[in-house]
Amino acid sequence: MSREKDTFYLTTPIYYPNDLPHIGHAYTTLAADVLARWRRLSGDNVFFLTGTDEHGQKIAQAAAERGVSPQQLVDDINPRWRDMLTLLRISNDDFIRTTEPRHTARVQQFMQRLYDQGDLYTATYAGPYCVRCEAYYTVEELVDGELCPIHRRPVERLEQENWFFRLSKYSDALLALYDQHPDFVRPQARLNEVRSFVAAGLEDISASRSAFDWGVPVPWESGHVFYVWFDALLNYITAVGYGEDSDEFGRRWPADVQLIGKDILRFHAVYWPAMLIAAGLEVPRQVFAHGFLLVGGEKMGKSNATGIAPEQLVAHFGLDCYRYYFLREISFGQDGTFSWESMTERYTADLANDLGNLANRVLNMVGSYCDARVPAPAGPAGEPEARLAEDHAAAVAGLQAFDRLDFMGGLADLWTFVSGVNRYVEARAPWAQRKAGQIDELHRTLYTCVDALRIIAVLISPVMPNAAEALWAKLGLAEDLWSQRLPQAAAAGQMPVGAITTRGDLLFPRLEDA
């Protein structure tokens, strides 16, 4: 008896560990982490998977260039990918490596099923092949008839006798999927792209390789390994109990959101659902393709020396700004340009000024006017409190945009609230209230501000976990930040009277000159 789905399951692509991570890779993982933390805060039982894609010709070639075995290469580089997760405070629940037996055994099992039911057959195929993409292209897809459309580098001509998957057989099922579940591929433009690709007619695709042996062996024919993309895509189910633990599989599959970059859309929105349909499994609820991070107008990558390592930026701007910047600055789904200048501007304006100064100012006043004890909200709530309550409600409602992966919109609404608290402080002028001896009014003002800071700490926590924790601690809150759940956690009036606040270090200190 398998159990009902009870988990919000989200995935990142699994990365090729042929080199070190750059901020383009970190981008997908970061967005997934924010969504994972957001869903946890919203009360879901989340399972967040990431990992590394360790087989295939690309890895075999990189290993040969370094004079090590492919296994040695991936074992050496794997820790560096895990370091990236630690550096960025990624809260993944599992990390799968496709060289692990838990994966390879189940890949064989899945493919055996396709073979047994006649979905695989042998044929010879020849065509232009990009090793970096690990994919065949048609001549029409090449740039100037010879360059890979993604990497703009010469492709090779590859001829192999392979096992082929009857992809064409599933064309109608795929078209029906896109029509009946238009949310299956997001954003909309990507759905249209995939739909026209399938509508133009699908060819069967090769599912094995025999020219090299770095892969999962085809059980029924020695000398063949599965094509790395079949192996890789299956990680999304092998990691959650497929073929091993039907209870776990039932609770987690199908995935709720699979995040990918737009370069791997066809694999995830065409081949992957076709494989699942063939095996009689449910397809993911959504595949969301984001755009590229560009540097100087080019896709950031390791091959063209534009790769920037996340640690360079974290060292200068701090983790919270790193996480905030990429989600606030770039509309998720579109391409976006990273620049040092715009990151500096976001740091100064949104973080140091709007949020950091606000917290510092409020905590400073509670410290000096109230002996660092949160006062009871004595005076009457009036017009300024009502206006602030509106901003607060708008922020909580606006953040629901995270569910549509509109991080930019959600954060913009949250910052309207942060600005609203700043306006409130100016309007109420607690320093003047104190001077005038209006103690009840002063207490009302400061309580409202501290209460707002508590709400802000909760609401920024998916994006800026360090700043949220630091602010939470300054507010002297005893409960665990990470066990807070919406909507209660963001309701007004929950700041405990008498909590002992500390001003401490600035949340966002002045940036050192770069």
Determine which one of 169, 181, 302, 316 is catalytic: 302
CB 217 within 8 A of CB 108: yes
The reply to whether 133 belongs to the active site is yes
Residue 227 CB, nearest distance to ligand MSP (Å)? 12
Is the separation of the CB atoms in 316 and 512 below 8 Å? yes
Nearest to 272 by CA among 189, 199, 207: 207
User: Which lies closer to ligand MSP via its Cβ, residue 292 or residue 324?
Assistant: 292
Cα(334)–Cα(326) distance, rounded to whole angstroms? 12
Applying CB under 6 A, the span of 9-17, 83-91, 108-116, 470-478 interacting with ligand MSP comes to 9-17
User: How many residues can be counted in the chain?
Assistant: 514
Select 7 or 52, whichever has its Cβ closest to ligand MSP.
52
Indicate whether 399 belongs to the interface with ligand MSP (CB under 6 A). Answer: no
Residue 293 interacts with ligand MSP (CB under 6 A): yes or no: yes
Q: How far apart are CA 450 and CA 231, in angstroms?
A: 52
Catalytic-role residue among 58, 151, 224, 268: 151
In the complex with ligand MSP, the residue whose CB is nearer, 92 or 422, is 92
Q: Are 155 and 147 in contact (CB under 8 A)?
A: yes
**Residue 299 is a binding residue for ligand MSP (CB under 6 A):** yes
Does residue number 13 form part of the binding site for ligand MSP (CB under 6 A)?
yes
CA torsion 263→266→269→272, rounded to 10°? Answer: -110
Sheet order of strands, 293-295 included? 298-299, 293-295, 336-337
Residue among 8, 9, 16, 402 that touches ligand MSP (CB under 6 A): 16
Nearest approach in angstroms of CB 22 to ligand MSP is 7
Three-state secondary structure of 457-501: HHHHCCCCHHHHHHHHHHCCCCCCHHHCCCCHHHCCCCCCCCCEC
Rounded to whole angstroms, how far apart are CA atoms 511 and 506? 12
Give SS3 for 26: helix
Interacting span for ligand MSP (CB under 6 A) from 24-32, 369-377, 379-387, 457-465: 24-32
Does residue 263 touch ligand MSP according to CB under 6 A?
Answer: yes
Q: Which is nearer to ligand MSP, 252 or 444 (CB)?
A: 252
Q: Establish if 24 lies at the interface with ligand MSP (CB under 6 A).
A: yes
| Contact criterion met (CB below 8 Å) for 357 and 430 | no
Does the active-site annotation cover 151?
A: yes
* Choices 8-16, 315-323, 401-409, 444-452 (CB under 6 A): range interacting with ligand MSP: 8-16
- Name which of 278 and 396 has its Cβ closer to ligand MSP: 278
Question: Of the listed 55, 133, 268, 370, which one is catalytic?
Answer: 133
What does the DSSP assignment read for 151-218?
A: T-SBPEEEEEEEEEE-GGGGHHHHHHHHHH-GGGEESHHHHHHHHHHHHT-PPPEE-EE-S---SPBP
- Shortest Å, Cβ 505 to ligand MSP: 33
Q: What are phi and psi of 374, to 5 degrees?
A: -65, 120
> Would you count residue 187 as binding ligand MSP (CB under 6 A)?
no
The answer to whether 261 contacts ligand MSP (rule: CB under 6 A) is yes
- Closer of 160 and 258 to ligand MSP (Cβ): 258
Supply the minimum distance, in Å, between the C-beta of residue 293 and ligand MSP. 4
- Which of 25, 103, 224, 392 is catalytic? The answer is 25
- Residue closer to ligand MSP (CB basis): 236 or 508: 236
Rounded to whole angstroms, how far apart are CA atoms 223 and 203?
25
CB 131 to ligand MSP: min, Å:
12
28 interacts with ligand MSP by CB under 6 A = yes
Q: Give catalytic status of residue 130 as yes or no.
A: yes
- Give the residue, chosen from 39, 42, 48, 53, that forms a contact with ligand MSP under the rule CB under 6 A: 53
C-beta separation of 242 from 253 below 8 A: yes
Member of 257, 274, 276, 300 binding ligand MSP (CB under 6 A) = 300
Report which DSSP code applies to 334: B
Name which of 323, 321, 319 is nearest 345 in CA terms. 321
Q: Pick the piece of the chain touching ligand MSP (CB under 6 A) from 13-21, 322-330, 450-458, 477-485.
A: 13-21
Which two structure tokens, joined as six digits, stand for 194? 């995939």
Out of 96, 155, 177, 264, point to the residue binding ligand MSP (CB under 6 A). Answer: 264
Three-class DSSP category at 8: strand
Q: Do the beta carbons of residue 332 and residue 409 sit within 8 Å?
A: no
Which of 103, 290, 299, 392 does the annotation list as catalytic? Answer: 299
Q: Does 54 bind ligand MSP (CB under 6 A)?
A: no
Residue type, 28: T
- Choosing from 107, 111, 205, 233, the residue that interacts with ligand MSP (CB under 6 A) is 233
Task: Tell me the three state secondary structure of residue 375.
Answer: coil
Q: Does 292 bind ligand MSP (CB under 6 A)?
A: yes
**Contact region with ligand MSP (CB under 6 A), list: 11-19, 36-44, 108-116, 245-253:** 11-19
Q: Which is the catalytic residue, given 130, 321, 370, 449?
A: 130
Give yes or no: 302 in active site.
yes
Spatial CB neighbours of 52, under 8 Å, sequence gap ≥ 6: 14, 15, 16, 17, 74, 78, 81, 95, 96, 97, 98
Pick one of 88, 131, 232, 358: the residue that binds ligand MSP (CB under 6 A).
232
What's the number of CA atoms in the CB half-sphere (13 Å) around residue 384?
A: 19
Which residues of the chain form contacts with ligand MSP (CB under 6 A)? Answer: 13-16, 24-25, 27-28, 53, 232-233, 260-261, 263-264, 292-293, 299-301
What is the set of active-site residues?
A: 22, 25, 130, 133, 148, 151, 299, 302
